[in-house]
Structure 1
Amino acid sequence: MKKVSIITVNFNQPKVTEELLGSIPKTSENIEVIVIDNGSNTDLSTEWQVNYPDVKFIRSELNLGFAGGNNLGIRNATGDYLFFVNNDTEFGPDLVKNLVDVLDVNPLIGMISPKIKYYSDKSLIQYAGYTPMNYYTARNSCIGLRETDNGQYDHITAPTAYCHGAAMMIRKEAIEQAGLMNENFFLYYEEVDWCENIKRAGYQAWVCTKAVIYHKESVSVGKKSKLKEYFMNRNRILFIRRNAPAFNKIVFYPYFILLVVPRNVLYYIKNKNYNFIPVLFKAVWWNLTHSKNSSNLGYPINTIQ
């Protein structure tokens, strides 16, 4: 088996990260585990290194975001395949082997994700692939989302529109051809943008449902916050700016301004989330005033706890 680097990013969730490490099978010479501590309030890297001597811990004093943290892992990885997993996941049986087996026999596959199931209810599916992106609306669908797993997606090893950021194994050569994750997304849409870059480099995205990982993300919609609203709206526009054909952009921009913005404002008012309204306009304004490659995030990252 080719060497696999398992990379995860921790931010103020030491117990969750430790549970992930405990779920990874005993390492061998063909597997290395890398944990990036992404500017957590408490530096546990020294303590962790004692408790997990086979794991490589790397501390960043700054919160680099999802993309930046994983990029730091890439720069320190020595594997032929790099397996990016959220720290709030736990491994299913033979997870790594099942993904490696697929990559080994098809050099055109640049990245592959397993089936993702909810940890809180292991009968429910979170991901079994993605539908293609509609570049007019910047919308697509997650196949299998919240469906009871009755085997309807078993035995699928095939191309998919996108891999899932919670668990994706990527061929090192694909990263060398496509480049690292774009760090100016910071949160949300960065893995979809990366998948577009990898496909443009001539590789395919696949899903293998024989491989399973469990995700601790809540089955219900995640807690609303100004941070989430800002980056979800900002990066939805940014993704289109970076990836959509010209005609699709012409349609998307009026659609977002004339339909999405008013609809979101009404939704905020209905739910008394009045403080989200200026955040939405700030997200739009950032895209009007910054280049698509700007490193200025437009949000006070040092306020994130």
Structure 2
Amino acid sequence: MDCAIILINYNTEDDIVALVRKMKTFSFRPLFLVYDNKGDASLAARLEALSDGDIHYYADASNAGYCFAVNFCFARIRELAPAVPYVGLLNSDIEFDESVFEGCSTFLRQHPGYIAVNPLILNDKGDYWYSGGFFDPSNLTINANLPTDGMAAGECDFYNGCFVLFSRQILDFQLDENLFMYYEEFEVSRRIRKAGFRIKLYTGASIVHHISQSLAGRNYVKTYYKCRNYLYVLDKDGHRSLAPAYGILFRSGLGHLRRGDFKSFRYLIRGMRDFKRGHMGKLTT
């Protein structure tokens, strides 16, 4: 199977190296593109030791963001492997085997109307972490799990970037770099679907997603991006009233206060304020 694999690093060096080492034992030999948002010299050296020309490493100590990194890799794939049929976008903190790729790629090959396939994604406890992206326009909720009666069909409103296999048509799209990170999957999926492509949950395979350490100890950063970007993607999607979304964020803010997490509460308010002011991109502290 010809495949290009995109891995984005930020505080996950050991996981990146372990994942690349494991995938190099598979029967197919992917082209790896590793974009390092910290620019760690040690990661570059460790990947060079593993490479036989199949690992392309790009360093960016300024951290231009997840969305920029993925777009950069899309552009490089168009140059390095213009005929590659599949593009994988993977987190480094996951466990899976080769059969997951086999199942997802077979589905894409047999169903050319689909552009993205996710396996079931489980957490460490074996519960569903992602079982199909589902958007409910009645209350503006963006859900990581399809309703039970929708899982069998597996038709998704958006993919999840923890582990997704794309057909090469994804290279015709770009992530919205205004987002920096979070909710970029929802936003680009809306455009993908409007272009006539479909997104599939492949229930014949599953992976395990461990808790990422990329934002360890910085929950307020995640709170900020998720708040601001949630409002941004809904507004961009054309929803006239964001009142239900503000209600969800208000309840989230109360939860932060009850837990005594005052910093996350302040950054949630800042996220709402920056959305209103049009301050997008990277958070400046």
Deviation, 1:297, is 2.5
**1:269 paired residue number:** 257
Structure 2 CA distance for aligned equivalents of residues 279 and 87 of structure 1? 27
Question: Alignment identity in percent?
Answer: 18
Work out whether residues 118 and 160 of structure 2, in 8 Å CA contact, stay in contact via their aligned partners in 1. Answer: yes
Q: How does 1:230-249 map to 2 (within 5 A)?
A: 230-244=224-238, 248-249=239-240
Q: How far is 1:260 from its partner?
A: 3.7
Amino acid at match of 1:50: A
Any idea what SS the aligned residue of 2:157 has? coil
1:99-110 correspondence runs (5 A): 99-110=104-115
Query: 1:79-98 maps to which residues of 2 (within 5 A)?
Result: 79-98=84-103
Unaligned runs of 5+ in 2: none
Residues 1:12 and 2:14 aligned together: no
Deviations along 1:17-36, one digit per CA (max 9) or x if unpaired, are: 12212332536676212211
- 1:191 matches 2:206: no
- State yes or no: 1:129 paired with 2:125: no
Deviation, 1:99, is 1.0
Rounded Cα–Cα distance in structure 1 between residues aligned with 2:33 and 2:262: 41
- SS of aligned partner of 1:45: helix
* Counterparts in 2 of 1:22 and 1:213: CA distance versus 1, 3 Å: farther
Q: TM-score, normalised by structure 1?
A: 0.79
Give the superposition deviation at 1:273.
Answer: 1.8
Letter of the 1:61 counterpart: A
Amino acid in the other structure paired with 1:108: G
* Cα distance change on mapping 1:98 and 1:63 into 2, 3 Å: same
CA distance in 1, matches of 2:76, 2:155: 29
Question: What RMSD over aligned residues (CA atoms) do the two structures have, in Å?
Answer: 2.7
Alignment pair present for 1:283 and 2:267? no
Change (3 A) 1:212 1:260: closer
Contact 1:99 1:112 in 2 (8 A): yes
Deviation sequence 1:246-296 (CA, Å, 0-9, x none): xx422x2x3344x34543443232222222333222211212221xxx7x4
What count of residue pairs does the alignment treat as equivalent?
A: 274
The DSSP-based 3-state class of the residue aligned with 1:76 is helix
For residues 1-305 of structure 1, what are the structure 2 equivalents within 5 Å?
1=1, 3-26=2-25, 31-53=30-52, 54-77=54-77, 78=81, 79-118=84-123, 120-121=124-125, 123-131=126-134, 133-143=135-145, 156=152, 158-176=154-172, 179-217=173-211, 225-244=219-238, 248-250=239-241, 252=242, 254-257=243-246, 259-290=247-278, 296-297=280-281, 299-300=283-284
Is this contact kept in 1: 2:140–2:244, CA < 8 A? no
Q: Decide which moves more: 27-36 or 5-14.
A: 27-36
Instruction: Give the Cα separation in 1 of the matches to 2:40 and 2:28.
Output: 33
* TM-score (norm. length: structure 2): 0.84
SS of equivalent to 2:59: strand
Deviation at residue 193 of structure 1 after TM alignment = 0.9
2-side partners of 1:12 and 1:224: how far apart? Answer: 12
| Greater displacement, 195-204 / 46-55 | 46-55
Q: Deviation string for 1:13-63 (max 9, x for gaps)?
A: 211112212332536676212211112454521332123333222222321
Given that 1:125 and 1:144 are in contact with CA atoms closer than 8 Å, whether structure 2 keeps it comes out as no
